[in-house]
Amino acid sequence: MPSLTKSGRCGTGFGPTASFPPRSRLHKLDQPLPLGYCNVGIVMEVGEDVTGFAVGDRVVSNGRHAEVVNVPKNLCSKIPDPVSGEEAAFTVIGAIGLEGIRLAQPALGESFVVTGLGLIGLMTVQLLRAHGCRVLGIDYDAGRLALARQFGADVVNLAAGEDPLAAAAAFSRGRGMDGVLITASTSSNEPVHQAALMCRRRGRIVLIGVTGLELSRADFYEKELSFQVSCSYGPGRHDPTYEERGIDYPVGFVRWTEQRNFEAILDMMADRRVDARPWCHTDFRLPGPRPPTSWSRATRLHLVSS
């Protein structure tokens, strides 16, 4: 049972016709629902049959945003000493991108597109670079594109009218991209269609975000493309036996589970192969017993919910 000290929020990159603008989500503030799934805390209590954790451990979990949360053991990971609490709060976000990468199975030297450079997209760029891949990032936002460049990617600025298909052809030296990871959020079918046009024969497309899924057979048939939808943080997700009852999958048969993906992200943060520090520059403090109706940067909040 961790006591929360830090937490973060997630967002995928907005695509050409984003269907989830921030204003459309405001109605959720009037609904009684638990918030969040990315937090860092200190272990206060440990269940009778729980091993590997002790009172006082710093942990990251996908527990809700509350002052005290009760989290199953397979959804927690201990934080290495070099990783700050602020950085560790992005572990779960990173695991979402990592699971998509595992499905794509990138090889050293391959070329990949990341479509949508929101938080998950930018983490995905870093993870692909750590795999030894060349990365082309696509987005409308200049700030996100600048961060992608900082992380070692080439970029396509859609807002400036740059052509992603021409860019991908040049980037792949005319061979077609080895794979495309879509981390955008849009109702449009265009990101998947565009990904198919960018890929070489037998290229791989993995949908990590949300798009329209009216697929064209012609896009996939001639090139024998593969298309897969990634499920959150990895094997174990939405399985009550794993998540709620704490029964792990044998590592010899399922090497990378949710928890083991968390650990991989934390190890890469400790080695500075994944850098979450660009998103750690602002803290907020929740004054009083209830969240305020408006947020102010003048009030400090460590995202310690009350």
**pLDDT by residue, tens only, the chain of 306 residues:** 666 666 555 544 433 333 334 455 556 667 777 777 888 999 999 998 899 999 999 999 998 888 888 999 999 999 999 999 999 999 999 999 999 999 999 999 999 999 999 999 999 999 999 999 999 999 999 999 999 999 999 999 999 999 999 999 999 999 999 999 999 999 999 999 999 999 999 999 999 999 999 999 999 999 999 999 999 999 999 999 999 999 999 999 999 999 999 999 999 999 999 999 998 866 666 555 554 444 333 322 232 222
Distance CA 92, CA 65 (A): 13
Instruction: Find tokens 């959020």 and name the residue.
Output: 185
pLDDT of residue 15: 39
Q: Are residues 141 and 242 in the same domain?
A: no
Q: Are residues 173 and 134 in the same domain?
A: yes
Q: Are residues 215 and 240 in the same domain?
A: no
**In this structure, are residues 230 and 121 in contact, taking their beta carbons and an 8 Å threshold?**
no
**Strand, helix or coil for residue 187:** coil
Q: Are residues 85 and 104 in the same domain?
A: no
Torsional class of 277: left (φ above 0), alpha (ψ -120 to 50), beta (otherwise) = alpha
Q: Are residues 41 and 129 in the same domain?
A: no
Please tell me the total count of domains within the chain. Answer: 2
Residue 115 domain flag: yes
Residue 298 domain flag: no
Rounded to the nearest 5°, which phi and psi values hold at 228?
Answer: -145, 145
Q: Are residues 112 and 221 in the same domain?
A: yes
pLDDT of residue 288: 56
Distance CA 71, CA 31 (A): 23
Residue 148 domain flag: yes
pLDDT of residue 30: 75
Query: Cα–Cα–Cα angle for 165, 169, 171, nearest 5°?
Result: 115
Of 141, 98, 89, whose CA–CA distance to 233 is shortest? 98
Q: Are residues 197 and 265 in the same domain?
A: no
How much is the pTM? Answer: 0.85
Parent domain of 119: 97-229
Residues 6 or more apart in contact with residue 230 via CB below 8 angstroms? 96, 99, 100, 103, 206, 207, 208
Residues in the chain: 306
DSSP class of residue 210 equals: B
User: Which tokens in the block code for residue 293?
Assistant: 């109706």
Residue 242 domain flag: yes
Q: Are residues 133 and 203 in the same domain?
A: yes
CA distances from 280 to 24, 39, 87, 89, 249 (A): 26, 13, 7, 9, 33
How distant is the alpha carbon of residue 144 from its chain centre?
Answer: 15
pLDDT of residue 304: 28
Q: Are residues 104 and 145 in the same domain?
A: yes
Q: Are residues 76 and 134 in the same domain?
A: no
Q: Could you tell me the CATH number of the domain that includes residue 191?
A: 3.40.50.720
Q: Are residues 31 and 104 in the same domain?
A: no
Residue 60 domain flag: yes
Q: Are residues 102 and 182 in the same domain?
A: yes
Residue 141 domain flag: yes
Residue 286 domain flag: no
